Chains A and B, each alone.
Chain A
Amino acid sequence: MRFAPAMRYLLFAAAGALLAVTALAGEQEFCVAGTVLNGVTGEVLRRAAVTLPESAVLTDAAGAFRFCQLPAGTYSANAEKPGFAEAGSRVVVGPSRENLVLRLQPLSAITGKVSDGAAEPLQSVLIQLLSIRIAEGRRHVRVAFTAVTDDRGEYRLARIPPGRYYLRAAGWAAAPSDRDPRESFAPAYYGGAPTLASASLVTIEPGHDIQADLDVSLRPAYPIQGEIAGFSPLLPAQVELLGADREPSAAPVALDAATGKFRIDGVTVGSYILRATQGDGAARRRGELPLQVDAALNGIALPLYGGVTLRGNVRMAADFDRAESSSPACAIKISAMDAWSPDEPALEASTEPSGEFELQNVPPGRYRLRMECAGGYLSALHLGDVDLLADGELSIPPGLAPAPVDAVLSADGGTLQVTASAEGEPGPGWLLLLPASGSELHTRLARLIAKYTFSGIAPGDYQVYAWSGSPEAFEYADPDARQAWAARAASVHIGGGDRQSIAVRVAGDKP
């Protein structure tokens, strides 16, 4: 550091909020020094940036850095370099700290080549790397990285953090200049699968680049043309073609903002959903139409519908002590069932004191309903005649007000106190209560520090799981994952009004 002491004092005084201890003029000063290393190979990293709050240096050719004239205190030292994940460390200074080692995990790259059936390289192919998020035990994906193949059919996705991904060739990134635009290909996942459900995962380890070639089959592709029915001229609108997993297709959509006429070129044979959306907020209207494409389609009329209101009522079962709790208190949420992360958030509501609730502007579609109520459990849940208690799946048809949701809240639930046993991994961990009935509305996931108490448990048989690490480790809605994890389950039977205790061993996040 090159500042005169008085100047330095001013700088650090300004940053005082960031430091546990602020130096007074004339107090002792210390150094922090160390090395930045590649976390996989152990090689030194030169020209990495190391920052303390309010100061930074670059490492030298030996990967070394040094900050001096630091007042005593606790600092957070951070290191970064392109191609590596950032890493930090808390450092207590006073005395000086030498030999601090900051290890940066290298990011990875996926490179590969895209060919057609005749092994000819394909240019202008849009490559998507999909990252995975687990919510409510289910896998959702979103596009995390994209690349486009060059004239050799090659692509490169770089600076990818370790993890599990899906990789796919999605379609043409731009109309290929060297090919017949009437040829295209259906999306192809790495390994050749046509859909997400059948695709294999690509696992990225830190600093391990992988080669992943993709094959696609060029086939005739067709234009589809039509018109949004009930279109309002010049109000922003969108037309999307959704593929087998309701993912947005790469085929380019041309929409005339004045007339609502649209044209989508290069659509391969297959099943699609055509979706149009216009307007915002309460004025938003949406229409969806299933399409089977095996030839050019003309004159499609895609009607728009406003959102509907989903109403419901939560009733107290007779067993509730009216004096203790006069009205139900439930949080209600519906979210789209798509495996591709929907581009819109879940809709949420809570019950009125009367037990009534409503969700407004619900676009037509398929949803999962979730309800959590204080002091009780749902003993019945219906949408009209449809029983929702098993999976909460409901369908909102276009343009029609759905039947009301009718829920019954019971108070005779049991209580289960779970304690992490001493021989397991040190916490914190995750605790899952999985009903043998399979009811997703009775499934509970909680953070386990040392102890956790579930209350208001619907009577029945349950399996209890505990693991450390990520809450996303167990995709419990997937039967295969449940089977794989079965050996780790502790079984309990909860009777009405029971109070039970169980000790569970917290283990790693692998089945």
Chain B
Amino acid sequence: MTGLCFAALLAAAAQASGGYRVAGEVLNSASGRPVSGARVTLVPADRGGPGASAVTGDDGRFSFTGLPEGKYSLSGQRRGLLPSHRMGATVTGPGQDTASIVLRLPPPAVISGKVVDDAGDPVADAQVELLGSRIVEGRRQTIQESIERTDDLGAYRFASLPAGGYYLVVSGVPWFTKFNPALGDTAPRAMTHAGYGIRYYPNAADPAAAEPLILKAGQEAGANFTLLPVPAVTVEVHCEQFENLTKHYVLTAAGLSGNQVHVRDGVETGDLFHFWSVTPGHYNLRTEATDGRSTWYATNELEVAASDIEVDVALHTAPSLSGTVVAESGGSLPRQLTLLLRDAAGRVLSTAMGVDGRFSMVAIPPGRYHVAFAGADDYDLRNWSAEGGRREGDMLDIPAGAAVRLTANAAKGTGRIAGTVYRDGQPLSGALVVLAPAHRAVQSNSDGSYEFRGLPAADYTLLAVSDGEDLEYANPAALQPYLDSAKKIRIAPGGSENVRLDAAGTLPGKR
């Protein structure tokens, strides 16, 4: 079977008038109306091979016939609508009803608006940052989705957004402060020493007063901002090292939910750089220089009040991280095992490990990182410690100039839990199945089946939620309401358990 290609199998099955059928309709998730002209793609989920695609007719219906028994992932897309995201597989086989699949395509939402100044003049080239409140790896996080610059009318537009909660952060510089470098002392201060404070939707100056803009599928929302010129100062940055190197300066301020708002950046060779139009507040200045081989960093905290300030930047060799990972069970590590460092903004640094478990990363920006493995699903990071850095839970603080040595164990999981989710005695498709405390979750397939593989031996809690898209499955408090229907499972090394789950309904009023 593995020697044959899928297309040949398909043809063979069709010729024999055998095979299974996957069919259904594509609907607009907001209006419930059929969507014509949508492309539906079917790809084997449990083995390789090419997929097939079909285009819906006026009735929104699609059909694939002559399919061998197996698992398929099914997706739909159409211009003007967002793609469907059906994560569980469609399972064909004896007794499986796969002829009434519904793929729902949400219409995109839009946020647009205008940024003006106190005189009502458009603020062109203002930075508008869009943050989305989404479940990422089981936690609700506020993540930067996109950044736009306003046009000459002060207008901006974020299109093709999925429904959800969004924050907007607006910053800018009054255009007339461009005279600051030439005329800083001879023009009125209101002209050269003005700035716009950061604004948060709904036009608030204080991040604590920021509110999410809640968008339904297909909704077009407007969000206008008024930026008021306020007195601002010039920050003079001195960096006397590496005068011949180009230095990158980035000024950020504390924003929403631990995110840093990018305020300004600049590039300069030499020992002096100026940021002007900096409004009072607390800032973080990050400096970076590289000669192509080595990188140096510095971070400075700045407190900006009513007067110009000077900052001395001392560059340090970029921190390095090296160490050894040992397989807990002895022996060598899988070739593809990778160590990941992820910062608060979601930027990822990674390094592959040799099969001997040694790794080394140079030129890491100092900061706070979440440490994890990737590349091999069935390996977990265990018992790690970091000499020269500071560990706090899953997080590692890497200070400037440090050479951090990390030692860790890699635990290979060989256990398995599989089963079927039911509701009212019927297999339930599309339920969220959560495995705690492993922070893992999958969606049940069309026949209600689910599977977790590569599990280390441990005690687990397993539960299913019928409509769990918004569930913070890595947050123990969020799982609390569902624990009544949860099952406790002990997995021995290499053990396998079959667990029937009954899905809990979604609780009202949770976010």
A82 at the interface (CB under 8 A from B): yes
B191 and A151 contact, CB distance less than 8 A: no
- CB B150 to nearest CB in A, in angstroms, measures 11
**Which residues of chain A are near B151, meaning CB under 8 Å?**
156, 158
B64-72, B94-102, B181-189, B382-390: which one contacts chain A?
Answer: B181-189
Given A120-B79, A151-B160, A178-B79, A56 and B152 touching (CB < 8 A)? Answer: no
B190 and A58 contact, CB distance less than 8 A: yes
**Which residues of chain A are near B121, meaning CB under 8 Å?**
46-47
B119 at the interface (CB under 8 A from A): yes
Give the residue name and chain of the A residue nearest to B78 (CB): A178
Q: Per a CB cutoff under 8 Å, which of B108, B159, B188 touches A58?
A: B188
Size bracket of the B interface = 20 to 34
A83 at the interface (CB under 8 A from B): yes
Interface string of A62-85 (1 = CB under 8 A from B): 000000000000000000001100
Q: Give the contacts of B172-187 with A (CB-CB under 8 A).
A: 175-176, 179, 183, 185-187
B187 and A178 contact, CB distance less than 8 A: no
Bound state CA distance, A509 and B186, in angstroms?
Answer: 44
**Which residues of chain B are near A2, meaning CB under 8 Å?**
188
Give the residue name and chain of the B residue nearest to A122 (CB): B79
Q: Per a CB cutoff under 8 Å, which of A57, A82, A178 touches B188?
A: A57
Bound state CA distance, A194 and B281, in angstroms?
Answer: 55
- CB A369 to nearest CB in B, in angstroms, measures 43
Bound state CA distance, A83 and B154, in angstroms?
Answer: 12
Give the residue name and chain of the A residue nearest to B192 (CB): A56
A82 and B159 contact, CB distance less than 8 A: no
Given A55-B186, A56-B187, A151-B159, A49 and B179 touching (CB < 8 A)? Answer: yes
- CB A28 to nearest CB in B, in angstroms, measures 21
**Which residues of chain B are near A178, meaning CB under 8 Å?**
77, 79-80
**Which residues of chain B are near A151, meaning CB under 8 Å?**
108, 110, 157, 159-160
Bound state CA distance, A395 and B124, in angstroms?
Answer: 48
A82 and B175 contact, CB distance less than 8 A: yes
Given A51-B183, A150-B159, A151-B159, A57 and B191 touching (CB < 8 A)? Answer: yes
A480 at the interface (CB under 8 A from B): no
A56 and B183 contact, CB distance less than 8 A: yes
Bound state CA distance, A56 and B179, in angstroms?
Answer: 8
**Which residues of chain A are near B175, meaning CB under 8 Å?**
82
Bound state CA distance, A51 and B160, in angstroms?
Answer: 44
Q: Give the contacts of B49-92 with A (CB-CB under 8 A).
A: 77, 79-80
**Which residues of chain A are near B157, meaning CB under 8 Å?**
150-151
B176 and A49 contact, CB distance less than 8 A: yes
Bound state CA distance, A179 and B187, in angstroms?
Answer: 53
A82 and B179 contact, CB distance less than 8 A: no
Q: Per a CB cutoff under 8 Å, which of B80, B152, B186 touches A109?
A: B152
A55 and B183 contact, CB distance less than 8 A: yes
Q: Per a CB cutoff under 8 Å, which of B119, B185, B187, B188 touches A47?
A: B119
Bound state CA distance, A194 and B432, in angstroms?
Answer: 54
Give the residue name and chain of the A residue nearest to B178 (CB): A49
Bound state CA distance, A61 and B191, in angstroms?
Answer: 15
**Which residues of chain B are near A219, meaning CB under 8 Å?**
none
Bound state CA distance, A425 and B174, in angstroms?
Answer: 45
Q: Per a CB cutoff under 8 Å, which of B160, B176, B183 touches A54?
A: B183
A58 and B186 contact, CB distance less than 8 A: no
B110 and A56 contact, CB distance less than 8 A: no
B152 and A158 contact, CB distance less than 8 A: yes
- CB B130 to nearest CB in A, in angstroms, measures 14
Q: Per a CB cutoff under 8 Å, which of B77, B152, B160, B191 touches A49?
A: B191
- CB A77 to nearest CB in B, in angstroms, measures 14
- CB B374 to nearest CB in A, in angstroms, measures 26
**Which residues of chain B are near A150, meaning CB under 8 Å?**
157, 159
Bound state CA distance, A151 and B191, in angstroms?
Answer: 38
A284 at the interface (CB under 8 A from B): no
Q: Which of A109, A120, A150 has the most CB of B within 10 A?
A: A150
Bound state CA distance, A400 and B80, in angstroms?
Answer: 55
B108 and A56 contact, CB distance less than 8 A: no
Bound state CA distance, A2 and B183, in angstroms?
Answer: 14
**Which residues of chain A are near B108, meaning CB under 8 Å?**
151
**Which residues of chain A are near B190, meaning CB under 8 Å?**
58
B188 and A11 contact, CB distance less than 8 A: no
Bound state CA distance, A159 and B185, in angstroms?
Answer: 30
**Which residues of chain A are near B80, meaning CB under 8 Å?**
178
7 contacts between A and B (CB under 8 A): A46-B119, A54-B183, A56-B188, A57-B187, A58-B188, A151-B157, A158-B152
Chain B residues in contact with chain A, CB under 8 A?
77, 79-80, 108, 110, 119, 121, 124, 151-153, 157, 159-160, 175-176, 179, 183, 185-188, 190-192
For the A-B complex with A58-B191, A158-B153 known, give 20 more contacts whose Cβ atoms are closer than 8 Å: A47-B176, A54-B183, A55-B183, A56-B179, A56-B183, A56-B191, A56-B192, A57-B187, A82-B124, A83-B152, A109-B152, A120-B79, A151-B108, A151-B110, A151-B157, A151-B160, A156-B153, A177-B160, A178-B77, A178-B80
Chain A residues in contact with chain B, CB under 8 A?
2, 11, 46-47, 49, 51, 54-58, 61, 82-83, 109, 120, 150-152, 156, 158-159, 177-179
